[in-house]
Amino acid sequence: MYNLLKGKRGIIFGALNSQSIAWKVAERAHEEGAEFVLTNAPIALRMGELNELAQKTGSQVIAADATSIQDLENLVEKSMEILGGKIDFVLHSIGMSVNVRKGKHYTDPNYDFTTKGWDISAVSFHKTMNVLYNKEAMSEWGSIVALTYMAAQRVFPDYNDMADNKAYLESIARSFGYFFGRDYKVRVNTISQSPTPTTAGSGVKGFDGFIEYAEKMSPLGNATALECADYTITMFSDLTKKVTLQNLFHDGGFSNMGVSDPVMDKFE
């Protein structure tokens, strides 16, 4: 490997199992020389296999509800103790729609479910940066990345209220990213990934059909979870020190396509 993250310390949110992009990011960060803490909600820790990843990467696991300021404060303080200093990189890979899970259509949601999903998927990013900012926990030229999807900009009917959540997430990255850059020389970006067969992604109605469509639309094909991890590692490295406030499309070119020959062939 390239030792891109040698000597760097991080916090990785959201790894659940080996399909998770966050899981792949952790594996790649370890290969590139980083030390980090792994975190997820207590219920996700019971459901997932995070201890296996921790053992593999020599990491510690700290349970934290990312919607709780108290939990986040505990997470950040303990992470700095464990890692022996300020944090160089953070990955926010958290998203959940209760309306999707409960089969509620976008035109007839349960608004309590909407609020819960909004809090988990987007406001948690603001809360995380709030704690990092106010505790001055990030190193100068550190990097914070959140994972998103282009339904924040375009209509994907079955993505439901997760589209709204992602749009809010991206706005938070820009707005908080300004203050983090101005005050601490920390960069904040979002990566808009191809549809990826993770546990969360696979829960979206019609996912299999859509992933095939995206593959045919994208001149380079869909980006895999591992390829997304590689891109994220570059965003954590010192090679991208002046990239901030960006929503970075990592989707094989899908986001700039109108139509492709393979898709047109279906209609001719």
Distance CA 266, CA 268 (A): 6
39 three-class SS: strand
d(CA 119, CA 115): 6
Residue 156 has what pLDDT? 92
Answer whether 140's CB lies under 8 Å from 184's CB. yes
Q: Quick one: average pLDDT of 210-236? A: 97
Confidence check: pLDDT of 210 > 90: no
For the chain, what percent of residues have pLDDT higher than 90? 91
48-52, 118-122, 200-204: range with highest mean pLDDT: 118-122
Q: Does 68 appear as a known binding residue?
A: no
What tokens appear for 73 in the block? 């404060």
Quick one: pLDDT at residue 115? 98
Mean pLDDT of 77-92: 98
Instruction: Put the strands of the sheet holding 247-250 in their side by side order.
Output: 60-63, 35-40, 9-13, 87-92, 138-148, 187-193, 247-250
Let me know if 184 is a catalytic residue. Answer: no
| Cβ neighbours around 198 below 10 Å, total | 22
Q: Is the pLDDT of residue 201 over 70?
A: no
Cα separation, 101 vs 61, in Å, equals: 27
pLDDT at 209 (0 to 100): 84
In the chain, what are the domains? 9-265 (3.40.50.720)
Confidence at 250, pLDDT banded by 50, 70, 90: very high
Does residue 38 register a pLDDT over 80?
A: yes
Task: Check whether 21 is labelled as a binding-site residue.
Answer: yes
Residue 155: its pLDDT value, please? 95
Q: Does residue 178 have an active-site annotation?
A: no
Read off the pLDDT band of 204 (50, 70, 90).
low
Residue 82 marked as a ligand binder: no
Q: Is 121 annotated as a binding residue?
A: no
Q: Does the pLDDT at position 184 exceed 90? A: yes
Average pLDDT value for residue range 64-74: 98
Terminal-residue alpha carbon distance, the chain: 46
pLDDT tens-digit series, residues 13-36? 999 999 999 999 999 999 999 999
How much is the pLDDT for 1?
80
Active-site option among 106, 111, 133, 149: 149
Check the annotation: does 87 bind a ligand.
no
What is the structure's pLDDT at 200? 64
- Across 248-259, average pLDDT: 97
Give the pLDDT score at 203: 60
pLDDT recorded at residue 47? 79
pLDDT of 136 > 90? The answer is yes
Q: Is a pLDDT exceeding 80 seen at residue 199?
A: no
Catalytic residue among 133, 159, 178, 184: 159
Average pLDDT of the chain?
95
The answer to whether the beta carbons of residues 49 and 42 sit under 8 Å apart is: no
Residue given tokens 């890979």 in the structure block? 93
